[in-house]
Structure 1
Amino acid sequence: MDRGRTRVSYQRNPNFCERIGQSLIGILIGSAILIGSSVLIFWNEGRAVQTAKSLDEGLNIVVSLDNPNIVSAENHGKLVHLIGSLQTDKELHDEAYNINVHAVKLRRVVEMFQWEEHETERKYDDGNGETRVEKEYSYSQVWRSSVIVSRGFDDSFNHRNPTEMPVPSKNYAAQEVTVGQFVMSYGLKEKINNFKQLGLSDSDIHTQSRVKVHNDYFYHSDDVHRPQIGDTRVKFEYAGISGKSSLGTPDMVTIVARQIGEKLLPYKTVAGDTLELLYFGSLSPKAVFDREMVQNTMFTWGLRFVGWLLMFIGFTCLTSIVTTLVDWIPIVRDLVTMGVCLMNLSLSISLSLTIIAIGWIFYRPLLGFAILAMAATPFIMSQFRGQPARSRMD
């Protein structure tokens, strides 16, 4: 790690009126975030319901093929399930490094040894209406697959990177991939991404004398143990072993797609989705659709969390003016901040659950109404807790 300079600057702290102005702007921003998060959650629930319907439909109509080497005309246009090994006619070839593999995909990954800048910022309140800002810069030497632009470095003179990669990265893909007698679509080929690094030996050394092999990399360097800025290393990765190969036996895959003659194409469901599924290994139709259901559930919950987080941030922006009004009173400020935070948490959870419930009421009514009841729980509890207080006042 090479330590650079530390730069010091001072920022004037905003006064009370300026903080109020910032809070008013926050209200506008918070409103926009709330609208956006509500749209995101509602769209996500619609997508989840549609995907669930499509998967249910697919599982009910899929036809299993006992032998992928036999193409039956009676399955034309139907959603089929088949298991077989990947096959390609030709090897993938990288001419620059004389690499040949029998696989569906091959990629050349090039990395260059470069400077990388790290910035550490610290802020201190000087107590005189200003904030002291210290920015400390440091530099390390790393391997990266893309060019790190050094023109914007704080110390670009002593830490200068090349402006382009000496050797370009490159991807190769088989034109035609078959499973038995069936030809896979482009979409199915794109799902083959089980990349593994290709092992290299001294016999694979490139014709250029400066190229060396170390730890399954081609090094363009005088010394692989002490690389210099601008040195490069190259590795190769493959995916989808196919046909006779020194890499091992062909990969077995399970496919669910629409049969059109000898081609496997996307299947359009009544719900509006397309089914074009591929998994490695031998799986039953139910196992395939169960995995898709799990993926749909995980993706749905991931977007729900993002939507809720945005909604919480939106409510926080909306209520920031409340904490701004009392931030000059230490004890009151802390109590109000905690109360507002809890209120924002409750509102964001309730509103998120309400939108989620609306999306599921028509598909699964019991689940939808159960979620809606959960969303209303905080408000119902507040009503019950408020009744004894009103009774004592009476």
Structure 2
Amino acid sequence: MRLYLLALNPTDSVTEGFLPAAARLGLDVTLLTDSPDAHRAAHAAPAAPPEAAGCEILPCDVRDFREVVALIGRHRAPDAVFTNSDHLQTQAALAAGYFGLPAKDWRATLRTKNKAELRRCLAAAGLDRVRALELAPGQDPAVLDPPFPCVVKPREGVASEDVALVADAAGLAARCAEIRTRRPHDALVVEEFLDGTLHTLETLGDGTRRHVLGGFRTRLSPPPHFVEEALEFVPELPAPVLDQVLARLDALGVGLGACHTEFVLRPDGSTSLIEVNYRAIGDQCDLMLARLLGIPYFEHVLRVHLGQPLPAELGARTGMFGQNRAVCADRAGTLTAAPPAQEHRGGGVHLVYRPVRAVGEYHEHHRTNRDYLGLVWAVGTDRAAVDGAVGDFLAANRWEIAP
């Protein structure tokens, strides 16, 4: 059976998660990407699993579903078309649907990617009425009347990039002008600031049955930016909170495959969605989640895209704790020292560290997830031991940046 996997830049989710899972399922993988050399380099890296080396890689303009369909049509017959990229969900859904394969509803993938459309859909359903305004490319933000403080962000952005809190009209104008120096053709969303604790919900569905896998309590950098610095596993949410979030996913049409939902939990128990990423959580958290739950998570995701139903019970283990921490650059410069990729087991804890930036690379300071130097996570049955292992690793290693 042949799996077509659409990707942009290499990610750990694909290289360490989905490609080994595809090999374990006996699938032949053809990876379609606009960055073939980058994927070849990632598959040859020391930390890459051996299964990645056997992946066929073909160059393709994967942002254009017509090119995806054309390439698949002249290559080999597909059994599944899949992507874990935020940017390619609609393209994968349309291509899979063209070939009569299991596919996400392309309208749901568009709603979840387009943050303005997400707000409109939820408001029309009478759910989660967050005041949000859309700003077209080149449009003057002075025409808006947003509630201050408010958050401005790209309508179809990801990973805290160009997301900022602004206090007044002057700040909004300045921030919009700054974002447009990098994204002159992108629409923006300006919406009310949602105060509360940031959480995620991780779900997995086959179009009929949906499993709730738990989620993460997220710590952010101080405002005005929103960099995710630490995530702590939360196995269960209160039933009223869970019901609110799942009702909104139903309204959006989310049903097939993995979904990573970010929401704010207020002290009174009410919730509001921040965004819905219709794919697996990234930044090593999906790998950590599979280890926490003790289930073949990546295989389950691929199976539903092959048309196979999920079991009634996943058999996930309980009583586990997990923490994921990002090492962030605090300034621009060249990374001159950092630990290599590594794993350790001991004292009932499994700890993993993966570099994000290579030693010798120069980067500007973005104040986004692009500032990650590395990611460390640990899981175990004792919270203190897990937290201690992560803290000890961070204290024992050095990340040095030279101007």
Larger Rg: 1
Same fold (TM over 0.5): no
* TM-score (norm: length of structure 2): 0.19
Name the TM-score, length of structure 1 as normaliser.
Answer: 0.19
User: Larger relative contact order (C-alpha < 8 A, sep ≥ 6)?
Assistant: 1
Structure whose residues are more often helix by fraction? 1
